[in-house]
Amino acid sequence: MDNKIAALKDKIKEAGLGGGPARIESQHQKGKLTARERLHFLLDEGSFEEIGMLVTHRSTDFGMEAEKYPGDGVVTGYGNINGRLVYVFSQDFTVFGGSLSETHAEKICKIMELALQNGAPLIGLNDSGGARIQEGVVSLGGYADIFYRNVQASGVIPQLSAIMGPCAGGAVYSPAITDFILMVEHTSYMFVTGPSVVKTVTHEEVSSEELGGAYTHATKSGVTHFACANELEAINHLKRLLSYMPQNCEEVPSPLAYSQNQDEGRPLLNQIIPENANQPYDVRSVIEQLADQDSFLEVHKDFAENIVIGFSRLAGRSIGIIANQPAYLAGVLDNNASVKAARFVRFCDCFNIPLLVLEDVPGFLPGTDQEWNAIITNGAKLLYAFSEATVPRITVIIRKAYGGAYDVMNSKHIGADMNYAWPTAEIAVMGARGAAEIIFKKEISSAADPQQKLLEKEQMYAGIFANPYRAAERGFVDEVIEPAVTRIKLIKAFKMLENKVVNNPRKKHGNIPL
């Protein structure tokens, strides 16, 4: 018996070493942690239970039968994050560069199925050279098996991907289907085809970092939601991100402790909007006043900065915030902002996270670039996402709510539950000057002093529409409120909406304008 136990211990020890000490050293030299070290930092101490530690590949081509490593390049199992069950896989670059073999894929699929059946989040730590080249089509099949399960799990359990090394070729599509991607600066990259293929096909010279590094995807493509300075920052970000989410679509996020009867007045909000309606301000300063202290976790911070999105807490409860950002492009809605916000709205709706919209939007961005890149379709995505969302939804119109953007930004008409406006709100088809130029065109051009006439007409139009009261008279706005009381109003309203039940018409699935 002792011999057998000793043999088992030897096997466990061997598996723990992955591709061996030299390759572990090489991994460290690159500034990267190993697959197991990452799990050590991610999961509560002593909570990790490994599944499939002794799995090896079945490949016999290219002399592969002589080179086997227990675990086959991926560590899989389950554990806890702050006491909550999660399923994890962590690719081991020290074994065949973390490449995906048939058995490597089977291990990941097993974890995915357990996560789905047991209703707990799935976290993937990706560090892989892609398909196991020695295995050919078997490896490609393994990828597709994973993609299929990603899709089955979408909207049922949260799926988070951290990219901590290479992630290239078709391998990118599993993270892309998951709900959130985090990348590590300088040590991770994602692309469908790498620099050498790019050079051959398009003659562009580009480095891996420039083509698909964390900064590129956080700012240019929006593929990643977070760019983290190092692996530990990424791991801590993963944990924080998860804290806003429930285990699955049947649950609500766990609230944090919150004591009633605090002073919820926020007098600073009465001063936050500049006197001049065209002057910018940072909407994050509004969020800071409204949300629980230090609770805002911004998503996609450096992409489509004209809209700010992120998770926050209000009286201890998770909410998703979507806010136009007047400090960037005047907060206009464009292609990227529409898609960014739409996907976030849909995530929150999947997982019972109520939505708060802070609106200050001059409209959709005009121009050929926007039209040719389908602002019609992309704007419709946001409209669709809000319209189908059944979670509690509240809008606060802070300042501008112009044109189609008024409708799109969670208006009463598309199903918002409560719509507040500050006295600074301007709810109209367009800005007063543009409106005056169109409807009083003849009168202005024939006036002795056209500029003076334009000003007169602009002021007249503004007097009628540059306020929240026309909308309030119609009930499109439920209440015009002093900014200072917004937080308490929101706390009460979200509490009132806690048991909201809305069922969209029965259907197979909708057809969002993709």
Which spans of this chain sit near ligand HXC (rule: CB under 6 A)?
23, 96-97, 99, 129-134, 140, 143, 166, 168-171
Cβ atoms 351, 245 nearer than 8 A = yes
Q: How far is the CB of 173 from ligand HXC (least distance, A)?
A: 7
CA dihedral 340, 344, 346, 350 (to 10 degrees): 160
How many whole angstroms separate alpha carbon 371 and alpha carbon 446? 34
Q: Please, which contacts does 380-383 make with residues 24 or more away whose CB atoms are closer than 8 Å?
A: 380/513, 381/338, 381/339, 381/342, 381/512, 381/513, 381/514, 382/333, 382/338, 382/339, 382/341, 382/342, 382/345, 382/408, 383/407, 383/408, 383/414
C-alpha distances in Å from residue 381, one per residue of 155, 262, 346: 17, 39, 10
Single-letter amino acid, residue 212: G
Number of H helices, E strands in the chain: 20, 17
Q: How far is the CB of 105 from ligand HXC (least distance, A)?
A: 10
Which of these is catalytic: 119, 155, 170, 265?
Answer: 170
* Identity of the residue, 26 or 47, whose beta carbon is nearer to ligand HXC in the bound complex: 26
In 3D, which of 73, 99, 92, 125 has the Cα closest to residue 26? Answer: 92
- List CB contacts of 339: < 8 A, sequence separation 6 or more: 222, 304, 378, 381, 382
Q: How far is the CB of 430 from ligand HXC (least distance, A)?
A: 47
* Identity of the residue, 26 or 373, whose beta carbon is nearer to ligand HXC in the bound complex: 26
* Identity of the residue, 134 or 378, whose beta carbon is nearer to ligand HXC in the bound complex: 134
Whether 52 is a known active-site residue: answer no
- 81 forms beta bridges with 84
SS3 20: coil
Query: 355-361 and 418-421: which strand pairing?
Result: unpaired
Task: Determine whether 8 is exposed, middle or buried from the number of CB atoms within 10 Å of its CB (0-12, 13-18, 19+).
Answer: exposed
* Identity of the residue, 140 or 330, whose beta carbon is nearer to ligand HXC in the bound complex: 140
* Identity of the residue, 77 or 166, whose beta carbon is nearer to ligand HXC in the bound complex: 166
Q: Which residue is nearest to ligand HXC (CB)?
A: 170
* Identity of the residue, 186 or 433, whose beta carbon is nearer to ligand HXC in the bound complex: 186
Q: How far is the CB of 153 from ligand HXC (least distance, A)?
A: 18
In the block, residue with structure tokens 């990828």: 143
Q: What is the 3-state secondary structure (H, E, C) of 31-84?
A: CCCCHHHHHHHHCCCCCCEECCCCCCCCCCHHHHHHCCCCCCCEEEEEEEECCE
Q: How far is the CB of 176 from ligand HXC (least distance, A)?
A: 12
Which of these is catalytic: 119, 141, 316, 404?
Answer: 404
Q: How far is the CB of 212 from ligand HXC (least distance, A)?
A: 12
Which of these is catalytic: 35, 234, 323, 405?
Answer: 405
C-alpha distances in Å from residue 55, one per residue of 51, 108, 139, 349, 438: 9, 12, 16, 38, 72
SS3 162: strand
Whether 316 is a known active-site residue: answer no
Q: How far is the CB of 197 from ligand HXC (least distance, A)?
A: 9
Q: Which two tokens stand for residue 75?
A: 């560590």
Q: How far is the CB of 208 from ligand HXC (least distance, A)?
A: 8
What angle (nearest 5°) sits at the alpha carbon of residue 288, between those of residues 283 and 293? 165
Whether 169 is a known active-site residue: answer yes
Which of these is catalytic: 18, 73, 79, 169?
Answer: 169
* Identity of the residue, 6 or 133, whose beta carbon is nearer to ligand HXC in the bound complex: 133
* Identity of the residue, 99 or 224, whose beta carbon is nearer to ligand HXC in the bound complex: 99
Cβ atoms 224, 217 nearer than 8 A = yes
Q: How far is the CB of 62 from ligand HXC (least distance, A)?
A: 10
* Identity of the residue, 143 or 406, whose beta carbon is nearer to ligand HXC in the bound complex: 143
Cβ atoms 387, 351 nearer than 8 A = no
Q: Provide the annotated active-site residues.
A: 169-170, 404-405
